[in-house]
Structure 1
Amino acid sequence: MPTAEYFAQFPPFPTETDVVDLPRISLGKLGNDTAEAEKLLKACREWGFFSLQLDTCDEGQALLKEAEEMFNLTDELFSLDQATLDEFAYDAPRDLTGYKAIGKLRTDDDKTDFMHLYSINQDDMVGNRPARRNADPLEASRARIQTFIRNAHGSLDTVLAALETQLGVKPGTLSALTPLDQQSQTSVRLLSSPAQAAPEYDRITLGGHTDIGTMTLLFNVIGGLQILPAGSENVMENWRYIRPEPGCAVVNVGDTLVEWTGGLLRSSLHRVITAPGKQVGVPRRSVAYLVRPANSTSMRRLRGGVIPPVTEEDGEETRPVNEWAAWRSKQIMLGHLKPQTRGGRAVYV
């Protein structure tokens, strides 16, 4: 999350709240510390989530500052009037780039969400495709957004390189599947939930889901993000908060990476509910960098190392990523597929 100084502007996360104790992985150690890389693989298998400590290296400290600028941009964006924001409404499910208004998505309890959301297309910002028209605050901040994207991508490349070593696949395999210079559905997502005048502490503001891509890097200061531990029934009392920590970001594994590793890694169900304690009285903002593979990349399982080989019972997914992702998203929207924790295969082969 952003720096401790930035955290100090807001009410603290209440100490009595039940939280999940996520593994903490140091970005600064990942390149040369085998024990840290082993801890990373374990986190990706058991939780599908971990806390990435960024303040242990220059690269990470720069990214923390850039995340703070993205929070300020989120404030500026969602201070626009509703009619202006609606001009940039996304065209779901065909194209999820752009603005989603509060109340457009169903939540787990069959109500509606309480979250403004604007997805910024990476290809648009880094020049992989002709520029599209965005809301004015975003157009005025193209250089700033591009810097954030490049540094966030670089940090996740470091994570993926360490993961490659532990999986036993050829170095550069995962980064080659998620290049910055090829078209993909990678996006920066700015999210904002207004403060509630009459707080509903159990209100689901963004329903339970897994991320469809490779990995997600998330920054937030106000609580509300929850994870459902693997094997737990999906009832309110089983969900656990993830406490925002200064100097860190939350990273989670996406469905594509689960498929590539034959279910060895885990993609965990998560959601957002009303912030706990006094934090309920302030707007909740978050910034997510959602990495997706190049559109033409195959969903074919990776070979080698500790990745389980394909069996006749498994079958093998061979569609291009963009076709598979579009199919999966549509099936979830139609209610044919239920979002749930996936992967976390228990044994090496």
Structure 2
Amino acid sequence: MPTTRYFAQAPPFPADTPTIDLPILSFSELRSGNPTEGEMLFAACREWGFFLINLHDCAEGRTLLHDAETMFDLDIELFSLDQTTLDQYAYNAPKDLTGYKRMGALKTDDGKLDHMYVYNINQDDILGNRAPRTNAPPIEAQRPQIQNFIRHASSTLDVILKTLDDHLGLERGTLSKLSPLDQESETSVRLLCSPPHASSEANQDRISLGGHTDIGTTTLLFQVIGGLQILPAGLENKMENWRFVRPVPGCALVNIGDTLVEWTGQLLRSSLHRVLAAPGEQAFESRRSVAYLVRPAKSASMRRIRGGKIPVLTEGEEEETRSVDEWAAWRSKQVMLGLLKPQTKGGVVPV
């Protein structure tokens, strides 16, 4: 399969590391409408807010894996640039998060600084929905390849969203229509790189990127080196309660974001997750990952979707009427001011 090269280069994920047992779903079976696979997807979106999807079992999935490998190649080329060059493309937080973020620009849960380089590539820039911006040279040189990745990643997530439509009792296409490719949004391709820590023993509990939930609708993540952790719902936020996600060859990780939780009246789950120093010998390798983070169209509303199984507002519950941009700006500001603590939202606690 296309990603064999990167997994073959990585040290093995240590077998004795505490991991979370996420379901692995078949993309081929979801595309064909297999009811059992659909039920497993819906259950995972309510219990975990995360699941793995096997892309190697059909041609469309293998195409996306090939695109993802191209993005990993781009990640290596991009973060090999010197610091002075990268700084020319620094983003203007919190107003604009498109562009480059230096390592050490954010605080983590333990009050220390993050250990992650990030470059956000705006979808509208790549697809031509807005005037093009100037990105770092490797990104400019790979515009057609990034566009392919976006279109194939979006098509993959559409299959997942249509399956959710079915299980939420909504007309097929309801969720997909809220994040169309031809309308402006804050959807982005995110390239990430966490360099090796100085000592795996001394930094085994070092947080590379702090605990958070994704603000958008869905995220599609490709990773090879471990480090991503999820805090299972109902457990206290203590170091020993977090569980690693084991990267699986041929699979992408999908998670539900806060916007989709709000739209569905908390039926679905957005889980708290973070990145820690990779376990075992993997800590000596650069941890690279590629994420496709979907946000709604700017014209969309945060109003709860009506119909199907989505619960109606209870007496005294206020209806959210802000636009997605207004709500996202408010939420981000609340988090930065310490007035809103990132935490798992929605879903069901497993019995």
Length, aligned pairs only: 347
- Counterpart of 1:89 in structure 2 is 90
Is 1:263–1:345's contact at 8 Å kept on the other side of the alignment?
no
Q: What's the secondary structure of 2:220's corresponding residue? A: strand
Equivalent residue, structure 1, for 2:263? 260
Which residue of 1 is the match for residue 225 of structure 2? Answer: 222
Q: TM-score, normalised by structure 1?
A: 0.97
Note the alpha carbon deviations across 1:210-239, whole angstroms, 9 max, x for none.
000000000000000000000110010000
Partner Cα distance (1:3, 1:134) in 2: 26
Instruction: Tell me the equivalent position of 1:294.
Output: 297
For 1:76, the equivalent position in structure 2 comes to: 77
What's 1:208 paired with?
211
Question: What do the CA deviations read for 1:256-293 (whole angstroms, capped 9, x no partner)?
Answer: 00000000000000000000011011100000000000
Q: Secondary structure at the match of 2:164?
A: helix
CA contact (8 A) 1:210 1:341 kept: yes
Structure 1 residues 161 and 97 mapped into 2: Cα distance closer, same or farther (>3 Å)?
A: same
2:23 aligned partner, one-letter code: P
Q: Is the 8 Å Cα contact of residues 178 and 300 (structure 2) preserved in structure 1?
A: yes
Q: Structure 2 CA distance, aligned partners of 1:230 and 1:82?
A: 39
SS of the equivalent of 2:275 reads strand
Equivalent position of 1:30 in the other structure: 30
Residue 2 of structure 1 and its aligned partner are, at CA, apart by: 6.1
CA deviation vs aligned residue, 1:117-164 (integer Å, no higher than 9, x gap):
000000000000000010000000000000000000000001101110
Which residue of 1 is the match for residue 21 of structure 2?
Answer: 21
Runs (4 or more) in structure 1 with deviation over 4 Å come to: none
Aligned counterparts of 1:36 and 1:318: Cα–Cα separation in 2: 35
Q: Distance in 1 between matches of 2:340 and 2:78?
A: 33
Aligned equivalent of 2:250, options 229, 239, 247: 247
Amino acid at match of 1:246: P
Match of 1:166 in 2: 167
Task: Kindly state the Cα deviation for residue 345 of structure 1 after the two structures are TM-superposed.
Answer: 4.7
* Counterpart contact for 1:227–1:270, Cα < 8 Å: yes
Q: How far off its partner does 1:335 sit?
A: 0.9
Q: Evaluate the alpha carbon distance shift between residue 161 and residue 246 of structure 1 in structure 2; reply closer, same or farther with a 3 A threshold.
A: same
Q: Which amino acid aligns with 1:154?
A: S
Which residue is equivalent to 1:8?
Answer: 8
Question: Aligned AA for 1:303?
Answer: R
* Correspondences of 1:231-246 after superposition (within 5 Å): 231-246=234-249
Matched residue SS, 1:198: coil
Q: Structure 1 pair 207/41, CA: closer, same or farther in 2 (3 Å)? A: same
Query: Distance in 2 between the 1:20 and 1:61 partners?
Result: 25
* CA deviation after TM superposition for structure 1 residue 4, in Å: 3.3
Q: How high is the sequence identity, in percent, across the aligned residues?
A: 65
Residue aligning to 2:319: 316
* 1:183 and 2:187 correspond: no
How many Å apart are 1:304 and its aligned residue?
1.4
Contact 2:234-2:349 at 8 Å conserved across structures: no
C-alpha contact (below 8 Å) 2:104/2:113 kept by paired residues: yes
Instruction: Give the TM-score, by structure 2 length.
Output: 0.97
Partner letter of residue 176 of structure 1? K
Q: Check conservation: 2:2, 2:62, Cα contact below 8 A.
A: no
CA contact under 8 A between 1:2 and 1:221: conserved in structure 2? no
Q: For residues 259 and 51 of structure 1, what CA distance do their matches in structure 2 show?
A: 23
Cα drift, residue 334 of structure 1: 1.3
Task: Report the CA distance between 1:30 and its aligned residue.
Answer: 0.8
> Paired residue for 1:106?
107
Q: Are 2:55 and 1:65 aligned? A: no
- The answer to which of 110-119 and 27-36 deviates more is 27-36
**Paired residues of 1:2 and 1:219 also in contact (CA < 8 A):** no
Partner of 1:30, secondary structure, is helix
Where 1:305 maps in the other structure, the secondary structure is coil
CA distance in 1, matches of 2:243, 2:49: 14
Query: Which sits farther off after the overlay, 290-299 or 313-322?
Result: 313-322
**SS at 1:85 equivalent:** helix
Q: Which amino acid aligns with 1:287?
A: V
Q: Gapped runs of 5+ residues in structure 1? A: none
Tell me: CA distance 1:201–1:2, structure 2 relative to 1, closer, same or farther (3 Å): farther
Task: Quote the residue 1:271 is aligned against.
Answer: 274
Query: Structure 2 vs 1, CA of residues 315 and 346 (structure 1 numbering), >3 Å: closer, same or farther?
Result: farther
Which residues in structure 2 correspond to 1:131-146 (within 5 Å)?
131-146=132-147
Contact kept, 8 Å, 2:267 with 2:346, in 1: the verdict is yes
- Give me the whole-angstrom Cα distance separating, in 2, the residues matched to 1:318 and 1:310: 13
Aligned position for 1:192: 193
Which amino acid counterpart does residue 17 of structure 2 have in structure 1? T
Residue 116 (structure 1) shift: 0.1
Q: CA–CA distance in 2 between the matches of 1:211 and 1:219?
A: 15
Counterpart residue type for residue 28 of structure 1:
S
